[in-house]
Structures are given as structure tokens and as C-alpha cells.
Amino acid sequence: MTSDDTAVTVEQIGAALAALGAYEGTNTPAEHAERAARFDSPEIYRLHLLNTLLGTVQAQAKLDDDVRVDGEELFTVWLEQLKGAGTWEDPAKQVSLLGWQVRRVGVPLFVLAQDPDTGPIVDASANAAEALHILLGVAGTLEEADPAVDIIPILNQGAMLLESRKLLVSALEHTDTALETFKPVLP
């Protein structure tokens, strides 16, 4: 989205990818139409491009985050993401964005956890990520809810909190399993 909430075009996304060295092609409407035809819909193609751009930018941000910067400066820099996403002045939008990010981390962790070779630490991470996603969803719902009219949605958050708690307990159990391996070297 642009600053006025107008969706960017695939050509604009392609230009951003090209500027980052992550797009090869002519970036013309005809080329994008041809590429979009390989997907189920133009929206899926657009989403593909956006996620490629997101991954490219995240890789660059990670490289720079690894530079030695004091915690306060890094925190201030990270807030720029909230400003860029247009969530800076709206706590409910911030919580929604953070929940979306956690979900994007959690789903691949759950896929990884299906492989028994990954072990209990990945299981613990997957459960903790899903619990955090649920907690952020509860926080967002409660932030946006009007207690005078949204009684049912507010009450439903209790069940969500219980689900989050179960996942956190599971995360702790997997962590305890992993700790058994370190028992001989722990104080």
C-alpha cells in the first residue's frame, strides 16, 4: 500500500525488486501478465512478488541488525517498521501487524517440527510462537472491542487464552525434554 492506502502495482513491486537486484526481466505489463498466467490468479502472483520483496528486504535488514548497535538505538530503528507500515499511532494496528509477523514465523516452525529429527527445541519454539500469535490476537480483539456491544467476542477471548496457555505448557514440556540432554553439564 502507498501512504494513501492505494495498492502498489506489480510494476512498482518489480521496480523495487530490480533496484535490489532481485528481479530479472523487463518489468512490463505484458511480462507480468505472462508471469501471472502461471499462477492461479493475478492476486497470487502479486502476493508472490510482494513476498519476494519482503524476503529480500528482511535479509538486508537482518544483515544490518547484526551490526553492533546499542539496544536503545536498535529499538528506535525497529520502530521505523511500524511507522512504514502505517501502524505507529494505532495500538490495535500495531498488535495486528505483530500478530501477522509472528504467524509468519510460527507456520514454518510447525512444518519443521513435523520432522522428528528437529527435536524438542523446534517443537517448543513452534508452540511458543503459536501461543504468542493467539495472545496478540486476544490483545487486538480486546483493544478494538467496545464493551457495550461486543460482549460475545470479548467473552470468547477466554477460550483463546486457554488455548494459548495449553501451547505454552507444551512449549515448557518440550523445553524440559531438551534440558534433559544438558542435565549432566548444568549446575
In 10 A of CB 130, how many CB atoms?
Answer: 24
The pLDDT score that the predictor gives to residue 186 is 84
124 and 157 in one domain? yes
Backbone phi, then psi, for 65, in 5-degree steps? Answer: -65, -30
Give the span between the Cα atoms of 29 and 160, in whole angstroms: 45
The pLDDT score that the predictor gives to residue 63 is 87
The pLDDT score that the predictor gives to residue 3 is 56
Domain-embedded: residue 73: no
Domain that residue 97 falls in:
87-185
Single out the residue of 43, 42, 23 nearest to residue 34, CA to CA. 42
15 and 105 in one domain? no
Domain-embedded: residue 79: no
Domain-embedded: residue 160: yes
Give every CB contact of residue 3 below 8 A, 6+ residues apart in sequence: 86
Give the span between the Cα atoms of 8 and 31, in whole angstroms: 17
Q: Which of 67, 98, 116 is the last residue of a domain?
A: 67
Write the pLDDT tens digit of every residue in 81-90.
Answer: 999 999 989 9
Domain-embedded: residue 72: no
Domain-embedded: residue 3: no
Low-confidence ranges of the chain (pLDDT < 50): 1
Give the span between the Cα atoms of 53 and 59, in whole angstroms: 10
The pLDDT score that the predictor gives to residue 1 is 47
The pLDDT score that the predictor gives to residue 29 is 94
